[in-house]
């Protein structure tokens, strides 16, 4: 029963938020606080497969208190952005990659596959229906949040037989308050995010719940973000709470931790590896130890470090703090490689530069 009815019924009722209010909200949307007027919603049941696909007014979803997700957290999500192109049109960046990662997350969490065409169609329709909500500021974009959760009313521990797939949209500005300026990172030595064989490679809500305590510790220690070490040796850099990480060395080469199953295979990570290699740089996907990071920063061999992800784009790392002290990366400011890769990526994403890899989908 995996042949879905992919035909969305589009209920474009007049927007809920009046135009003037929308303009005011778009002036300073922050991150993830403002939402558009519509959403996509599709139901799944074991006997009917995916059905009842609709684009409809964004509204609360009634949930029975025994809905499986509320007890056993069977929930996955994605994050991708739509941009306003210079010609006024809208573009999506690599939505097929999000669709395929969503399928892998679903498989890991024993959930049904959302057909990739249905995933992309839902994202396209939400974007075009709420096109007026795409900010046109240089840092602004429409963040799309596809997600799926278990809604069978049943308390047994087993994969749910019913699910909802939704796409909501939120106009956003920069993820960090300081925009693209350097952030400080706390090294989590007590908490880990993901272990081999666990759920770290899935974009699964529970991974983020498990990161909150470590993020709170980062904040208590005056840092913007937390970096997690591997669960076995507590030695190798994995990734940040919601971003992958890159290191830039004095010879111009880059290094990023390998996809070993405990980090999220970031689409920004993949795009940056490609762009850096296109520019003739060496990019190694290799483990990097926290003590090596400190030593390379001290010797000057390490010139830059930066975090990357859909929400954060590229965010330079200026300072790293551990329980026994802190170290700075170079002068603690954004470096030239991070700055130039960010500009290249953003120009492709906003359809301002040639797109040799066919990453941008025009709507
Ligand atoms: N790592 C984690 C844990 C994330 O939540 C994200 C954000 O989606 C990323 C990495 C970066 O992934 P992407 O570049 O696909 O947004
Ligand atoms: C994203 O970049 O899309 C994420 O999901 C990260 C999250 C911390 C907002």
Nearest CA to ligand 1 atom 3: 242
Other CB atoms within 10 Å distance of the CB of residue 300: 9
Q: Looking at the structure, tell me whether residues 196 and 148 fall in a common domain.
A: no
Same domain, 198 and 106: no
Average pLDDT, rounded, for the chain = 94
Q: Please give the average per-residue pLDDT across 270-281, as a whole number.
A: 98
Q: What is the CATH number of the domain that holds 121?
A: 3.30.470.10
Domain count, the chain: 2
CATH of the domain at 228: 3.20.10.10
Do both 307 and 228 map to the same domain? yes
Ligand 2: atom nearest CA of 208 is 8
- If asked whether residues 47 and 101 sit together in one domain, one would say yes
Torsion of CA 147, 153, 155, 159, to 10 degrees: -50
Percent of the chain clearing pLDDT 70 (strictly above): 97
With bands split at pLDDT 50, 70 and 90, how would you rate the model's confidence at 6? low
Q: Taking 90 as the threshold, does the pLDDT of residue 261 lie above it?
A: no
In whole angstroms, what is the distance from residue 233 CA to residue 230 CA?
A: 6
CA 72, 79, 142, 336 torsion-angle sign? positive
Instruction: Answer yes or no: is 2 within a domain.
Output: no
pLDDT digits 0-9 by tens, 292-318: 999 999 999 999 999 999 998 999 999
Taking CA atoms only, the protein residue closest to ligand 1 atom 9 is 243
**Are both 32 and 113 inside the same structural domain?**
yes
Is residue 355 included in any domain, yes or no?
Answer: no
Residue 179 above 70 pLDDT? no
Distance CA 150, CA 71 (A): 10
User: Please, is 261 exposed, middle or buried when counting C-beta atoms within 10 Å of its C-beta (0-12, 13-18, 19+)?
Assistant: middle
- β-pairing, 237-240 with 225-229? antiparallel
Does the Cβ of 180 fall within 6 Å of ligand 1? no
Same domain, 252 and 162: no
pLDDT at 2: 39
Does the residue 356 lie in any domain? Answer: no
Mean pLDDT confidence for 253-275: 96
| pLDDT at residue number 260 | 86
Tell whether 226 and 147 lie within a shared domain: no
State whether the beta carbon of 202 lies less than 6 angstroms from ligand 1: no
256 pocket-lining for ligand 1 (C-beta < 6 Å): no
**Closest C-alpha residue for ligand 2 atom 8:** 242
Is the residue at 363 inside a domain?
no
Of the residues 312, 313, 345, which should be mutated to test ligand 2's pocket, given the most ligand atoms within 8 Å of the CB? 312
Q: What is the mean pLDDT of residues 206-221?
A: 96
> What gap in Å lies between CA 293 and CA 286, rounded to an integer?
13
Q: Which two tokens stand for residue 336?
A: 């030239």
Q: How far is the CA of 275 from the centre of ligand 2 (A)?
A: 21
**231 CB neighbour count, 10 Å cutoff:** 18
Q: What mean pLDDT do residues 173-178 have? A: 80
What atom of ligand 2 comes closest to residue 32's alpha carbon?
Answer: 9
Ligand 1 neighbour 200 (Cβ under 6 A): no
> Do residues 106 and 252 share a domain?
no
Q: Do both 218 and 145 map to the same domain?
A: no
**Residue 37 in domain:** yes
Is the C-beta atom of 271 inside 6 A of ligand 1? no
Of 244, 260, 306, 341, the residue with max ligand 1 atoms within 8 A of its CB, to mutate for a pocket test, comes to 244
For residue 269, tell me if it sits in a domain: yes
Residue 180, pLDDT > 70, answer no
Supply the pLDDT for residue 175.
85
Contact 268, 93 (CB under 8 A): no
Please name the residue whose Cα sits nearest to atom 12 of ligand 1: 266
- Residue 4 above 80 pLDDT? no
- What is the mean pLDDT of the segment spanning 6-33? 88
Q: Which atom of ligand 2 is nearest to the CA of 203?
A: 5
What is the pLDDT, as a whole number, of residue 5? 46
Domain ranges, residue 105: 9-172
Report the first-to-last Cα separation within the chain, whole angstroms: 30
> pTM higher than 0.80 for the full model?
yes
- Is residue 321 packed enough to be buried (19+ CB in 10 Å), middle (13-18) or exposed (0-12)? middle
Centroid of ligand 1 to alpha carbon of 245 (angstroms) = 10
Residues 149 and 191 grouped into a single domain: no
What's the pLDDT tens digit per position in 313-342?
A: 999 999 999 999 999 999 999 999 999 999
Q: What is the pLDDT of residue 3?
A: 41
Q: Give, in order, the Cα–Cα distances in Å from 204 to each of 17, 130, 134, 194.
A: 31, 26, 27, 11
Cα of 266 from ligand 1 centre, angstroms: 5
Report how far residue 347's alpha carbon sits from residue 227's, in angstroms, rounded to the nearest whole number. 28
Encoding tokens for residue 251?
A: 């010879």
ipTM (interface predicted TM): 0.98
Residue 125 lies in a domain: yes
Our answer on whether the CB atom of 311 is closer than 6 Å to any ligand 2 atom is yes
Query: Mean per-residue pLDDT for 155-164?
Result: 97
The per-residue pLDDT for range 35-64, each reduced to its tens digit, is 999 999 999 999 999 999 999 999 999 999
Contact 217, 226 (CB under 8 A): yes
Query: Domain for residue 358, yes or no?
Result: no
187 and 167 share one domain: no
pLDDT of residue 1: 37
Same domain, 73 and 14: yes
User: Would you say the CB of residue 199 lies under 6 angstroms from ligand 1?
Assistant: no
- Tens of pLDDT along 100-140? 999 999 999 999 999 999 999 999 999 999 999 999 998 89
In this prediction, residues 248-275 reach a mean pLDDT of 96
């Amino acid at each position: 029963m995996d042949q879905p009815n992919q035909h969305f019924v589009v209920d474009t009722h007049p927007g809920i938020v009046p135009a003037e209010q929308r303009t005011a909200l778009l002036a300073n949307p922050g991150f993830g606080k403002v939402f558009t007027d519509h959403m996509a919603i599709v139901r799944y049941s074991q006997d009917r497969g995916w059905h009842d696909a609709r684009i409809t007014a964004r509204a609360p979803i009634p949930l029975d208190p025994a809905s499986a997700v509320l007890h056993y957290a069977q929930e996955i999500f994605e994050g991708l952005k739509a941009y306003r192109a210079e010609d006024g049109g809208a573009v999506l960046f690599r939505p097929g990659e999000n669709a395929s990662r969503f399928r892998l997350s679903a498989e890991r969490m024993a959930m049904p596959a959302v057909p990739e065409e249905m995933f992309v169609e839902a994202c396209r329709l939400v974007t075009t229906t709420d096109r007026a909500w795409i900010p046109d500021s240089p840092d602004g974009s429409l963040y799309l949040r596809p997600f799926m959760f278990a809604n069978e009313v049943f308390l047994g521990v087993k994969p749910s037989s019913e699910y909802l797939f939704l796409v909501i949209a939120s106009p956003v500005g920069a993820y960090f308050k300081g925009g693209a300026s350097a952030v400080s990172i706390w090294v989590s030595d007590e908490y880990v995010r993901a272990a081999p064989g666990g759920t770290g490679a899935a974009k699964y809500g529970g991974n983020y719940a498990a990161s909150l305590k470590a993020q709170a510790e980062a904040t208590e220690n005056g840092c913007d973000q937390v970096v997690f070490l591997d669960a076995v040796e507590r030695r190798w850099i994995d990734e940040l709470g919601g971003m992958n990480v890159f290191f830039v060395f004095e010879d111009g080469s880059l290094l990023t931790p390998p996809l070993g199953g405990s980090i999220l295979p970031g689409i920004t990570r993949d795009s940056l590896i490609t762009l850096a290699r296109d520019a003739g740089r060496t990019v190694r996907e290799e483990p990097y130890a926290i003590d090596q990071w400190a030593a390379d920063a001290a010797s000057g061999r390490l010139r830059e470090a930066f975090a990357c992800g859909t929400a954060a784009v590229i965010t330079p790392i200026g300072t790293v703090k551990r329980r026994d002290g802190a170290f700075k990366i170079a002068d603690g400011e954004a470096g030239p490689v991070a700055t130039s890769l960010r500009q290249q990526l953003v120009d492709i994403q906003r359809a301002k530069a040639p797109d040799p890899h066919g990453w941008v989908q025009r709507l």
